[in-house]
């Protein structure tokens, strides 16, 4: 069984647009991130990104994870490492 899922983008039928309301904003961000992280999209865009672009994406994601996840959540939810701290 795979650890990672991208079911939301496959099942979502709502509005994709930003700025209408919080629920739509959250759905749109999740939709965009799952589309962006698709393996085909990544294979196309990563070689075209400058080092500065890679740094920006990495730093943004790292900052958000540090801000909103405890260390155990980071290991369990992001890294899928259930053994950490056990």
pLDDT at 1 over 70: no
- Between CA 17 and CA 78 the distance in angstroms is 26
Q: Let me know whether 56 and 37 are in one domain.
A: no
pLDDT of residue 3: 84
Q: Let me know whether 55 and 77 are in one domain.
A: yes
Secondary structure, 3-state, 19-50: CCCHHHHHHHHHHHHHHHCCHHHHHHHHHHCC
5-42: pLDDT as tens digits: 899 999 999 999 999 999 999 999 999 999 999 999 99
Q: Let me know whether 38 and 9 are in one domain.
A: yes
Q: Let me know whether 21 and 37 are in one domain.
A: yes
What's the total number of domains in the chain? 2
40-75: pLDDT as tens digits: 999 999 999 999 999 999 999 999 999 999 999 999
pLDDT of residue 11: 96
pLDDT at 85 over 60: no
Q: Let me know whether 28 and 59 are in one domain.
A: no
Q: Let me know whether 55 and 86 are in one domain.
A: yes
35, 41 contact by CB (below 8 A): yes
9, 31 contact by CB (below 8 A): yes
* Closest among 50, 16, 47 to 33, alpha carbons compared: 16
Q: Let me know whether 60 and 42 are in one domain.
A: no
């Amino acid at each position: 069984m795979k650890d990672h899922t991208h079911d939301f983008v496959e099942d979502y039928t709502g509005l994709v647009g930003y700025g209408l309301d919080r629920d739509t904003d959250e759905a749109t961000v999740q939709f965009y991130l799952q589309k962006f992280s698709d393996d085909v999209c990544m294979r196309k865009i990563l070689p075209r990104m400058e080092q500065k672009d890679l740094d920006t994406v990495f730093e943004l994601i790292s900052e958000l994870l540090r801000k909103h996840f405890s260390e155990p959540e980071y290991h369990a939810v992001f890294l899928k490492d259930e053994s950490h701290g056990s």
